Amino acid sequence: MRTLNLKEHIKLIVNAKHWDPFMVLGMHPLEENGRKMIVVRAFLPHAAKASVIDTNTKKIFEMTLIHKAGFFEVICTDRKNIFKYILRVTTHEGKEYEFYDPYCFLPVLGDFDLHLIGEGTHLNSYEKLGAHIIKHNGIKGTHFAVWAPNAKRVSVIGNFNNWDGRRHQMRVLGSSGIWEIFIPGLGEGEIYKFEILAKNGKDVFIKSDPYAFYSELRPKSASIVWNINKYQWNDNEWMNKRKEINLLESPVSIYEVHLGSWMRVPEDGNRYLSYREYSEKLVNYVKDMGYTHIELLPVTEHPFDGSWGYQTIGYYAVTSRFGTPEEFMNFVDICHQNNIGVILDWAPGHFPTDGHGLGFFDGTCLYEHEDPRLGYHPDWGTKIFNYGRKEVKNFLISNALFWFDKYHIDGLRVDAVASMLYLDYSRKEGEWIPNKFGGRENLDAIDFIQDFNKISHGKFQGILTIAEESTAWPGVSKPVYLGGLGFSMKWNMGWMHDMLEYFSKDPIYRKYHHNNLTFSLLYAFSENFVLVFSHDEVVHGKCSMLNKMPGDMWQKFANVRALYGFMFTHPGKKLMFMGNEIGQWDEWNHDKSLDWHLLGFTPHKCLQKYIMDLNLIYKSEPSLYELDYSYKGFEWIDFRDADSSIISFIRKAKDPENHLVIVCNFTPVPRNNYRFGVPSLCFYKEILNSDSQIYWGSNMGNSGGVFSENLPWHKQPCSINITLPPLSVTIFKPMK
């Protein structure tokens, strides 16, 4: 490639097509006829006049306009060495101002950073890419860096330069594909985007910053310069304790929340609550209800409310719908101070096609696969990440670590894992490309998921990673070194499907579907399961949980109490979507608040009380959580009474003497003198009866408990004879 002369360089800069304007602009040594001098050049298309001011001596060097587009130059003949300077500009409107020249600063990113980014191993790339408020050579400003390896030119644009892509053209750092510039004087709150000229020299793309920490509220889409390191955390006790707790052997009861619709303020235009309001209202509610964790539908920035956050644009930006990054940090902090963990839904499986997003980022398919058979998601009309590209994989893994690091998040629930694992997911024959072995498994996605889990757990002890994986893929929650995907836990979608199908049946027919109750115990310990009744089950015509139940109003409430009682006594951690606990009649609507007024009616208030008591018992009884993932923690008493739709079983703690006996009657027929076997000869206290009057039941029961008899039954050494209430779950605890 031939060396360009100055005139050609100037032409490229003036036309905003230069790959490294720093080669020409700024201050440079100059030698003519053996004489050393200093030259300063500046492209100032808004300027009528310009001058250079030596900040040490205050000497002023008037610049000459050498190109009518606004290219200025001055040769300082009396200077041999580089000196510190500022530019003074007079605009065509007569306004005068001074500023440090962005083109007088050396690169911020070093060779080691560039090497790690290129290698795909820069685990905290969010500390280097994006917009960062720093001091560079003693001058405060904002450093911008973006990966766009196929661009011909990249500029930072914003209000500070009238969105003129000629003003702050960036330089590319070698072959790294990283473009950067330090703009002195820019601080927090400045809005910006990247203007990217494609390699063809014609197409221009205006993109939000993939690493932006904050963004404008939709429908606006600019990124916002923000310092996310200024919040003072007060959760040291929680963070230290988190490292010591084995959550697989601890109670985990998750309240799943969509922040936009948990509660609104109808008297104020039906507005959202803010992060600060959630720090009080939601945290207090979850604490009172007894949940151990809050799981939030994605809080990353997204353009369309109806996507619920799952079509993410700003992977590093907490959504501005509810407040600032610090306000969300405060929410997490307050949760931790109240012994509540925070789990975020994370969507690394796909991203939307909005023009300001990641799609076709630098004029090429940079983050996504170019071939639509690999890069387009037919169900959601979105792009699929190219997991085989090391820089893309690094972007996503760094993003996961970012939430653990900067926001003290306790877990990530990874959305739509199955769509990542299978190349033929939701595709017909001929619409997908087999892997190199001819199979349907996405080998690059598997590698990404395994590395995400290995690295996350390696760097942040005590965090959770949870997979929403709807197939029978083996080893989802097994360690990577054993060939698994490495997740902490997996949603049990099969159990959820079987239970909802069973409970939707009229009780008279349930005996024909008894296997729905028992089948899950054949595989319950093959994965670290979370039992879920999630948001997906109460939308799109599926009905609310209460309205799925058959029968009259009393039976609907009795059925849903029985379902929840079985959930809390079945092996596995627990997740309930908001509104399930108060008996919503309507399906979930992301555009309006939950129907909190229902708590003014006794059945709904009693259901809420029931969930509160279930959480209390669950957390206080080790037999319900210590051996969730071992067959040693569960024993059937009787699962054969299909005609009566009755099952009974034992849950055990690590101490086998510590156990609970659970009996479930899933018909509206009370059963008197119902005998079943128990392990111990003692008084069995009835610690929960879903049919109790306090839960709006018929108040049938056993007067607080019953003594077991020395009469073997169901292969147990003893037995108890009880009254079994209709549509109920009853829990008995031995009092030795």
Catalytic residues: 415, 468
- For residue 344 the two structure tokens come to 């975020």
The rounded distance, in Å, linking the Cα atoms of 486 and 467 is 10
The rounded distance, in Å, linking the Cα atoms of 499 and 564 is 10
3-class state of residue 256 by DSSP: strand
Closest CA to 168 of 184, 152, 156, 158: 156
DSSP state of 2: P
Beta partners for 32? 35
Q: How many C-beta neighbours within 10 Å does residue 593 have?
A: 18
Q: How many C-beta neighbours within 10 Å does residue 73 have?
A: 19
Task: Give helix 553-569 / helix 493-503 axis angle, nearest 10°.
Answer: 150
Closest CA to 259 of 248, 274, 241: 274
3-class state of residue 722 by DSSP: strand
CA separation, residue 403 to residues 213, 225, 397, 712 (Å): 11, 18, 10, 55
HSE-up (13 A, CA, CB side) for residue 193:
20
3-class state of residue 664 by DSSP: strand
The rounded distance, in Å, linking the Cα atoms of 135 and 206 is 27
Q: What is the dihedral of CA 601, 606, 611, 616, to 10 degrees?
A: 140
- For residue 517 the two structure tokens come to 């109750």
The rounded distance, in Å, linking the Cα atoms of 111 and 105 is 16
The rounded distance, in Å, linking the Cα atoms of 578 and 576 is 6
